[in-house]
Amino acid sequence: MHVTESGSSTGATDDRDGVTSVDTRAPAEPVDPAAVAPSSGRRGVTATIGAPDDRSSGLEREGDVAADFLEELLDIADLDGDIDIDVDGERAVVSLVGGDLGHLVGVDGAVVTALQDLTRLAVTRETGERTRLVLDVDGYRDRRKAEITVLAAGAVELVRRGAERAPLPPMSAFERKIAHDVVAGLGFTSGSEGEDPGRRVVVSAS
């Protein structure tokens, strides 16, 4: 594995006590910042980061801790794969990609959900903070998001055609958030009913 980092970065100027120094040396060739970026020592980890602030820095740290934990698991299991780190809103998102990782998804995402819980525990133990980190494996979350979008739109259509309410199948909190956003975007109302793991989104006209 290897380490690369991408995202926006801010250059810094060295302005000490208002004194401007003149460099009389011949101009150097342009340097690619990525070529001199410090390496974290991990292999196969790509971090996509934006402009730093306290919250995003905390989320980036969550992603780094999760990547360390997952890299060790992959090594123990002798599995090939790369690790992508991103920040999506108020969550760190860590993705395992490449290699033969489909079996880490499991039936209806059972394995990736269990692995996500373990990763969250590892992050919380290291940082001392509760985390809402999301783990994806082999693009499962994106595929699941597309499925939930179709389900939510179908429930909205049922209500539009006269149904008083249209329940969706049980979902995780992350998946319910996706469904709520889809329903709201279509101009309808939704709520959640039941207890985990059977908690579900119910769509209504108002």
Name the nearest CA neighbour of 184 among 201, 164, 163. Answer: 201
Give dist(CA 111, CA 137) in Å, integer. Answer: 10
pTM for the structure as a whole: 0.69
Domain ranges in the chain with CATH number 3.30.300.20: 37-138
**pLDDT for res 89:** 86
Q: Mean pLDDT in the chain?
A: 81
Domain ranges in the chain with CATH number 3.30.1370.50: 142-204
Name the nearest CA neighbour of 74 among 85, 64, 82, 86. Answer: 82
Name the nearest CA neighbour of 195 among 174, 177, 171. Answer: 171
- pLDDT tens digits for 186-205? 999 999 999 998 999 999 98
- pLDDT tens digits for 90-103? 899 999 999 889 89
More confident residue, 140 or 42: 140
- pLDDT tens digits for 14-24? 333 333 333 43
CATH topology of domain 142-204: Ribosomal Protein S8; Chain: A, domain 1 (3.30.1370)
Q: Calculate what percentage of the chain has a pLDDT beyond 90.
A: 65
Give the residue carrying structure tokens 């998946």.
175
Give the residue carrying structure tokens 């039941």.
194
**pLDDT for res 100:** 86
Q: Please state the CATH superfamily assignment of the domain spanning residues 37-138 in this structure.
A: K homology (KH) domain (3.30.300.20)
